[in-house]
Amino acid sequence: MPPTVKRALRSRWFAGCVHAGLWLLFCLAVANLGGRAPEVRDADAVATSVQTPAPVGGLSRLFSGGAWPASLSATNTLNPFFTRHFIPPAPPPPTTRKIEVTYLGFYQTGNGPKNTMFKLGDAFQVAPIGARIATNLLIAEATMQALTLTNLAAQTNLLPLNTKKELEVPIR
């Protein structure tokens, strides 16, 4: 702005004139300037049909689902109103699973090896001593009362006869 306009806007005379003009407008609005309320009377009944002032035939197309733009949340664009900051990360996949084993006994024929009988889940299985029954579980010993299972880290599990036991084994 030119300096003369700035000086005029900052002058006390200009501020005083604007102030006085606003007070004058206020007084005229309060005095109502001699205005009067419109005359109100009962309307006469009209025998002709009422016509709609606006065409409403296109309103159904305006509010249909195809008229709206697609949602931005379905795209990969950045949006300042949606953030993934507060969504926790997905949990890591499990590394172990649980299996149910029931020791049913053992048998031995002649001088052959001991064969153990057990249920792995719902499946009936027979395996010799030293066989692998799960990912990391080997049969170590079988007696009349219990079956001893071991893993590669030398941790043992003792399964009593005819008792279902839940064991945790690693997933491959």
State how far the Cα of 28 lies from the Cα of 171, in Å rounded to an integer: 89
Q: Which residue has the higher pLDDT, 16 or 58?
A: 16
Q: What is the pTM of this model?
A: 0.49
Indicate the average pLDDT of the chain. 84
Report whether pLDDT(29) > 70: yes
123 forms bridges with which residues in the sheet? 120
Q: Which residue has the higher pLDDT, 103 or 1?
A: 103
Helix (H, G, I), strand (E, B) or coil at 21: helix
Query: Residue 57, class by beta-carbon neighbours within 10 Å (0-12 exposed, 13-18 middle, 19+ buried)?
Result: exposed
The pLDDT, as a whole number, for residue 101 is 94
- Residue 39's pLDDT band (cuts 50, 70, 90): confident
Q: With contact defined as beta carbons under 8 Å apart, do 97 and 168 qualify?
A: yes
Query: pLDDT of 108-157, one tens digit each?
Result: 998 989 999 999 989 999 999 999 998 889 999 999 999 999 988 888 99
Q: Which residue has the higher pLDDT, 39 or 67?
A: 39
Q: Which residues contact 97 (CB under 8 A, 6 or more apart)?
A: 168, 169, 170, 171
The pLDDT, as a whole number, for residue 76 is 62
Other CB atoms within 10 A of residue 152 CB: 8
Mean local confidence (pLDDT), 79-102: 84
Query: pLDDT of 56-80, one tens digit each?
Result: 777 777 777 676 676 655 566 666 7
